[in-house]
Structures are given as C-alpha cells and as structure tokens.
Structure 1
Amino acid sequence: MHLHDLETPALILDRTKVDRNIARLRDRLAGLGVSLRPHVKTNKSADVARRIGEPGTPITVSTLKEAEYFLQHGWTDILYAVGIAANKFAHVQRLMQQGAQMTVILDNVASAQALAAFCKDQNLTLPVLIEIDCDGHRSGLVPTAPELLDVAAQLGRAKQDGGAWVAGVLTHAGASYDCDSTQAIVAMAEQERAGAVLAAQRLRDAGYAAPVVSVGSSPTAHFAKALDGVTEVRAGVFVFFDLVMNGIEVCTMDDIAVSVLCTVIGHQKEKGWIITDGGWMALSRDRGTSRQKTDQGYGVVCDVDGQPLQDLIVAQANQEHGVLAHRSGDPARTPMLPVGTLLRILPNHACATAAQHPAYQVVAGGQEVEATWPRFSGW
C-alpha cells in the first residue's frame, strides 16, 4: 500500500524515526546507570511498545485499561502512575490475579488508609510509591513535607509485612515542558533527582525499605547530567516526539515520528487559506506551542514525504476542517496547493493527536505503507 491509497485523515508513523529515538534514550540512560520504565500512554500499542522492549520488561501506564491491554500482550511489571482512587482498587486486584505485578502511587493519608484497609481485607500484597512534587507542577508531596511520614505510617515498611507497603517514591518534572533553554532543563533534571532522592532517604531513615526511586519526563531524561540515587526513569513521548519537544530543543523537527496525513479539499484565496480534511478531530485541540517562542498553530504542514513547507501551519481547526495559512497572516504568501494534494501535519502533542486515531499506518522513511499497527483509547 502507498500513502496515496489511504483514506484521509490517517495517522502516519515513521518506524525508522521511532527506532532512532528509542536508541538515543536507551544509550543515554545506560551511560547513567539507570533502567528505563517507558510510559506507554503515548503509543497505546503493543507493536510500538515492542520496539522499546520485549514483553516482560517494565512499563508505566496512565490508565488501568492500558494495564489490562499490555498484560494481555505479555507485559506483567506494570506501574500505574496516576494517584489511585478507591473505585479502582478492585480492578488492580483483578489484574494481579491475572498475573500482573502491579505498583500504584498515592500522595495522601486518606488514600493510604483506604488502600491499606482494602489490601488487609483482601489479603493482597501491593507495592506503593509515594508521589513527590519536585516542581509545583501537579500532584504529590514536597520532599521535605512532614506529611510524607504520615502517609507512610498508614502502610507497611517492607514487602514481607504484606498488605500495601512503601516501595519507594515517584516524581515527574512536568515543569520541564515549560523550560526555555537546555540549561533550564538540566537544572530541572537535577531538581527532580535531588527531590526524589531526599524523600526516599527520609523514608529509609524512618525504617521503610523504599527501594524504588522513580523519576522521569522526556526532557529531563535527555538532559540529566547525573542520576545518582535513582533506580528508574520513566518517559513516553520520546518515542514519537512532537512540536512541543522541538520547541524546547529536546528534538529536531526531523525526529518527530508521527504525523497526520490529510488532503487539500479547497481554498479561500482572498483569505490566504488552504482547506483540508484534517480538523481537530484528527489533530486534537492541543495548542501546547502557543506558550513557546514559536507558535505552531495546530501543527506544522509538511509535504507527503514529511518535509516541512516553509512557514505553513494549521492556523485554525474546526471539527473536520483544517485551515492552513502562512504564519505571517499575509494571504499573498500562502502557496495555493492544488486540490487533492496530500500533506502531513506534525502535531503539537503526540499523545493527544495519536489518541484521535484507531491505528498507525507505518512507513519506513518513504511513502510505502509497510504495516498497520492498531492502537486503543479510553479508560
């Protein structure tokens, strides 16, 4: 099959770029002496995940549906990296009964008490990571919070105690996505590492085993200078990359492995608009680059081979229509590409864009489609 044979819009994945991106991070982390626990929430595909590591290698998920799917495909060591809610306890238990080695996270006494009671009642031994807030970005406890030991006190000190037990700490430097220089990412990576290590040491000093120190974001994973005291790194979007990652210089535009194929279906010449069949239902509404030095609209426009067309972006997106225009806003500078022209749009946020599609159409640097890899969505 050829790209011209596809019905648009379609999600295109360049396998050669995927493999290159994975090798880059694996080589880097090997040099720092830590293991990779990839976050599979971006790809949601066993075919993609196998490029990172064979079934049986550790993974991170953001939904229990992901855990279920990847367990069915052979992955058993699964970290559910969203604060656990009581209405998910039974689902976690079912996954463990089916062979999953689950780990969950939480950051408050109420959740810890509820989980401990459930595990005791069900005679379930479950490792728990306490979430640490290393940057004020989202959830978690700051490394020095007195509440850290209060949360831990609701849980067992080690695996042999049974029940829900303190397996360590987890943090995510989400603020790294807002960094405006490589130096800032380097500093954020050290802040992330130091915060997690400090929290883990406080737990150990209080008698908890806390063997796991889990950190990770794609920016910090690529720019950390040292990871002393860290046991594993989580990252997900590094497999595909996207325009947000390009905007903070974590990757080049040529590293972006995922794009949306669309077709020119008309023009509004007096406005300098090219109309395509790739609207926000195909691209997502994510406007993550709007806060960066270069606003890429809803995506960068490339030719069918994936080469960017200079200063042409998706300026507007309706549900099923994409509006392409020159980034200057000058109608005279928009090249009026013929109706029927195939284009590829590089996404702002790979996770959000991929979530709009049921499958990847896989290429290897050219226009020949060598495979279709299914993916899933939802909870």
Structure 2
Amino acid sequence: MKQEAFSVSTVPTPSVILDRQKLIANCRRMAARAAGAGVKLRPHLKTAKSAEVAALATSGQFGGITVSTLAELRYFFEHGIRDMTYAVGITPGKMPVIEGFIEQGAVIRIVLDSAGMVDELAARESGFKGRVPVLIEIDCGGHRAGVAAEGVELLDIARRIAGVPGLVLDGVLTHAGHSYHAADAGAREAIAVAERDAAVLAAGRLREAGHACPTVSIGSTPTALTGIALDGVTEIRPGVYVFFDLAQAALGVCSPDDIAVSVVATVIGQHRAAGHLLIDAGALALSKDTSAGEFRQHVGYGLVCDLEGRLLDGMHVADAHQEHGFVRCSAGTIDFDRFPVGSRLRILPNHACMTVAPYPEYQVFESMDRPLVQWSKTTGW
C-alpha cells in the first residue's frame, strides 16, 4: 500500500524530520576537512543509522564506515556496505555474527584494549573463520576505555594478537569523547592535539617493535573540526556532524542554523497558571540529554522553533515526562493565543544521536513547500 505523503504540518507527531540540504552541507564540510588534512573519512553512522544518510556521508570517500551495534552492522551490510569498524569493545559472544559477515565478503575491524580479551578470543572452541583485523584502543584522555599510548600493555596486547592465527593487528583507534566538555575553542584544540598525538605515538611504538600498523584512527566531531594538522593519522571517524545539535552549537562547532534534524510536536495543552505549554514530545521523543545546558542556560531538553525552523525567543522544553514536554519561555510569559491546542512546533535536540535513535524512519524535506520523503534507519542492538 502506498504511504501517504505528509508535510511538516500534517505528519503524525512526534516525528523526527531531516533537512536534506543542511545534511548535504554538513557532509561536505567534513569531507573538505578530511581532504584538506590528507586523511580518510570513515563516518560514524551510529548517529544517523540510515543507509540514505550513509550514501551522502560516504560520497566521494573510500566507502568505509563506523558502527556501534550489531544491528547497525547487519543493516549497513544489507544495504551494500562492506568495510566497517565495529567501534565498541569486542566480547567473544559477538564474534559469530561478525565472522558471519566476514565470510560473506565484509571487512570488519574489531576493537579491544586488553591482553585478557585477546586470550578469551583465542580460547573460543569454534576458532576463527578467516582472519579478523584488530584495532587496539588507546586512551587519549577521556578515560572511558583504552590503554596508554606510552604504556607496556600496548606492546603486550600486540604480541598476543600476533600469536593468534585468526587475528591480525590492523592498527590503533582512539576517541576524544571528553571534547564534548571543552569549555572553549582553545580547550577543544588542546584535546584534539592530545588525541592525535596519542594515536600517532602508539602507532610509532608498535612499528618500532616490529608490528605493522596501517590504520591510525581518531574520531570525534569537536576535534575533527578544529583544523589542526593530522600528520601520522590515516582516518577520522566523526559522527554527529551529519546532523549537528545544540551541544555542538554550544561548543562553537556549528551554529543552530546548521542543525539538520528536529522533532515536530503538537501542542496538546495549555497551563496558563503554571506558565507552560504541553506538547506530545516527551522524554522518549526528545531524550533526557541536557548536554547543551553545560554551557548555556535555558536549553532544557531542546530549543523550540516554529514550523519554518525559526527559533522562538526564550522558548525551550523545560521539563519532560515520558510522553509530555513542558514548554516554557525564559524571555517572558508565553503568548498562549499564538500557540493554541493543536498547533505545531519544532524542537532542536541537545544530542541528535540520542534523540533520533528510537524513531523507525526519517521524514525528509528539501524545502518546506514539498512533501516529506521517508528514509530508512535501524534501531536496537
């Protein structure tokens, strides 16, 4: 049955809508950065989880992507992508799925940061089906995962990998996730330098010890867009740049006008005594991420726009219950007559990755006077 053609004013709410022109501009910006730095661009598709977005993000690139879930790996394989880095620490239980795709012709790199995990992989009764490339994760200052670039564990892991017939060391990988908390451009650049230097140092030590290290992979949108030299790096893996969000705008990486995704919501109530509107986009539709609020007041769970995408001065989602959002205005009282029950608003997300994740599809527009087009995406793990 043919799907009904919706507009922004008729699409069921809440829905996540995607501005294709802004998406294209964002993809071109990162592609230009990678080309200027002389590195490959391996976009992290955990943000968009969409084959149509992947086609734009990899246009003119070598075609490789990054994923974070087996669901993403399966979805992108089914949509023709054969070069993927599974950038979450591996465990033996996930290897059968990964090796199944390798047997079908995919190149899938796994990531680990301990000699113990190498031993666990080597001890699997099923053994290995083919050769699995491995990236050693390096801690560049975020302390989420990884080994120190200058530590002894790095070389121990490399030696263990070399002793397992089913594994081959492909290089190193790091991620400066702490750049999302950089107070200013100078702090962001310092983190970017540390990210680059940690990866390059680790790669150099591996090569000096006699190990091949063809891949030196770094990633994070805030650091990728600092403009520092990337000598010694082979690829970058930013993700949220395809959409951007209020957190990136607060960091100075983009402006609110660059944000390509928003959530369309309907006003479902007015509480004049309490001074807020109720909308049908709550915590599940927007997420409860408040990261932009680290640097800016009165953001809450998202800034409010009209249907044309123009920011409404001071209006933000101040609170969110499961299916209810509370819109308040920091610039004064809300003009309730302007926003009757049944009217619509658009919400810019704090963290696009979190906001779009649960939606089954994107509603995509070229311009506001044209019907929305549905783009696929994956969900889950």
Give the TM-score range, shorter chain: over 0.9
For 1:139 and 1:335, the matched residues in 2 are separated by 48
Alpha carbons 2:103, 2:130 under 8 Å: kept:
no
Residue 350 of structure 1 is matched in structure 2 by 352
- What's the offset of the Cα at 1:321? 0.9
Deviations 1:340-369 (A, max 9, x none): 211000001101110121111101242533
Residue 24 of structure 1 is matched in structure 2 by 29
What is the aligned counterpart of 1:371 among 348, 364, 373?
373
- What's the offset of the Cα at 1:335? 2.3
* Distance 1:58-1:46 versus aligned 2 partners, 3 A rule: same
Alpha carbons 1:104, 1:129 under 8 Å: kept:
yes
For 1:368 and 1:43, the matched residues in 2 are separated by 22
* Distance 1:119-1:128 versus aligned 2 partners, 3 A rule: farther
Residue 250 of structure 1 is matched in structure 2 by 253
- What's the offset of the Cα at 1:162? 4.7
* Distance 1:191-1:366 versus aligned 2 partners, 3 A rule: same
SS of residue in 2 equivalent to 1:267 = strand
Deviations 1:72-116 (A, max 9, x none): 111000100001011111111111112211100100011111223
SS of residue in 2 equivalent to 1:153 = helix
What is the aligned counterpart of 1:3 among 8, 17, 20?
8
Alpha carbons 2:298, 2:314 under 8 Å: kept:
no
Gaps of 5+ in 2: 1-5
For 2:119 and 2:218, the matched residues in 1 are separated by 25
SS of residue in 2 equivalent to 1:143 = coil
Alpha carbons 1:116, 1:154 under 8 Å: kept:
no
For 2:288 and 2:66, the matched residues in 1 are separated by 25
Residue 95 of structure 1 is matched in structure 2 by 101
For 1:282 and 1:2, the matched residues in 2 are separated by 19
Please list, as runs of the form range in 1=range in 2, the aligned pairs for 1:208-227 lying within 5 A after superposition: 208-227=211-230
Residue 18 of structure 2 is matched in structure 1 by 13
Please list, as runs of the form range in 1=range in 2, the aligned pairs for 1:28-47 lying within 5 A after superposition: 28-47=33-52
For 2:147 and 2:7, the matched residues in 1 are separated by 51
Q: What amino acid is aligned across from residue 87 of structure 1 in structure 2?
A: G
Deviations 1:138-183 (A, max 9, x none): 10011111111111111128xxx95212111000000110001111
Deviations 1:316-359 (A, max 9, x none): 1111111000136xxx5222122221100000110111012111
**Aligned alpha-carbon RMSD (Å):** 1.7
- What's the offset of the Cα at 1:254? 0.3
For 2:324 and 2:359, the matched residues in 1 are separated by 16
Gaps of 5+ in 1: none
For 1:112 and 1:119, the matched residues in 2 are separated by 14
Question: Is 2:60 the counterpart of 1:57?
Answer: no
Residue 182 of structure 2 is matched in structure 1 by 179
Q: What amino acid is aligned across from residue 261 of structure 2 in structure 1?
A: V
In the superposition, the TM-score normalised over structure 2's length comes to 0.94
- What's the offset of the Cα at 1:119? 9.7
For 1:47 and 1:136, the matched residues in 2 are separated by 32
Question: Is 2:334 the counterpart of 1:334?
Answer: yes
Matched length: 373
Residue 290 of structure 2 is matched in structure 1 by 287
In the superposition, the TM-score normalised over structure 1's length comes to 0.95
SS of residue in 2 equivalent to 1:104 = strand
For 2:129 and 2:271, the matched residues in 1 are separated by 66
SS of residue in 2 equivalent to 1:127 = strand
* Distance 1:304-1:119 versus aligned 2 partners, 3 A rule: farther
